[in-house]
Structure 1
């Protein structure tokens, strides 16, 4: 898929998307929203202050994709630690997660919602595709959402480093992972060109 972002005069970015591309990005963003889940206030709608004072979880998520999106803050998988240091590291990560994960989830949720809303507006006024124009603020939301989508897909594909990405190019066409790989690589191209539009 050849679409790439280009800078707009005065800031922001634009990209031409066809109907299939719009549908793919929107579907992935909706899946990301479902994965992230509702905010704390949605679990307690009668209390408007619930989200403000709600503490987040203290343990890492069980789902590997969510662990990639919300990693432990103080864990270094390459560090060699003794039992005491490892326990201290887990305690620090747990405390940090308790007070930050809800805000991180809310931010990721808002970015994914911004993608869905902008694509819905675009699709409503187009047939066969259209040019999506984003303000500088919306561009940053898209950039964050594209990053989250790539992290999620990369986690499902077991991509841990650049060498894994190189292997994806050599997958045979009949490999069941091929559609997911194509989406991962395409989103990477979009992300890269969007980054370049935001650089001064």
Structure 2
């Protein structure tokens, strides 16, 4: 099991450090790769817009991903408590699509960049990790994305029940819990709690 994250140094020399076992690195790398593949496929399938090519402003999809995992990674810009407003205001639904089209390409780029930072700083065979605060922020983004993807697969919602040890998803749930702890400890280290 991963040790906690600790702070070393100050100012520009500040590093957030830990040590990961080889299997932890392999598991994390595999999950980050899977998430980036989904995001890259979504980016690659975005409609091409002639006006966007002329202006240099990239556009993305105007509709929510059909896949539940991508839907968690790239949610709509409106909240469920605004559904009544959307039903009453047809233009509000169009606005959501426009916001998605304009913002999704950059959101995907940012998520892929964060994932790339994790993969670049993750020791292949396990070992020490020393992150700048900026790299640690990228780790938090990527860890959150992996947790969201795994949570969508597991169907984690407010009324989710933890599966028993004999359930086929018990191992996946354990990984989800491990990611939660890694993320929480990293947040605490960044905040100076640890």
1:37 CA displacement: 1.1
Say whether residues 1:56 and 2:77 are aligned partners.
no
How far, CA to CA, are the matches of 1:29 and 1:50 in structure 2? 34
The corresponding residue for 1:145 is 142
Q: 2:2 touches 2:20 (CA, 8 Å); kept in 1? A: no
Tell me how many residue pairs correspond in the alignment: 182
The corresponding residue for 1:160 is 157
How far, CA to CA, are the matches of 2:175 and 2:30 in structure 1? 12
The corresponding residue for 2:104 is 101
The corresponding residue for 2:116 is 113
The corresponding residue for 1:69 is 73
Q: 2:72 touches 2:148 (CA, 8 Å); kept in 1? A: yes
Q: Deviations over 1:34-92 (max 9, x none)?
A: 1111556xx99xxxx79952211101111111111111112x32346167525233111
How far, CA to CA, are the matches of 2:54 and 2:164 in structure 1? 50
How far, CA to CA, are the matches of 1:82 and 1:134 in structure 2? 44
Change (3 A) 1:174 1:84: closer
Q: TM-score, normalised by structure 2?
A: 0.84
The corresponding residue for 1:25 is 28
1:180 CA displacement: 1.1
Q: 1:12 touches 1:197 (CA, 8 Å); kept in 2? A: no
How far, CA to CA, are the matches of 1:148 and 1:51 in structure 2? 31
Q: 1:56 touches 1:101 (CA, 8 Å); kept in 2? A: yes
The alignment's C-alpha RMSD in Å is 2.4
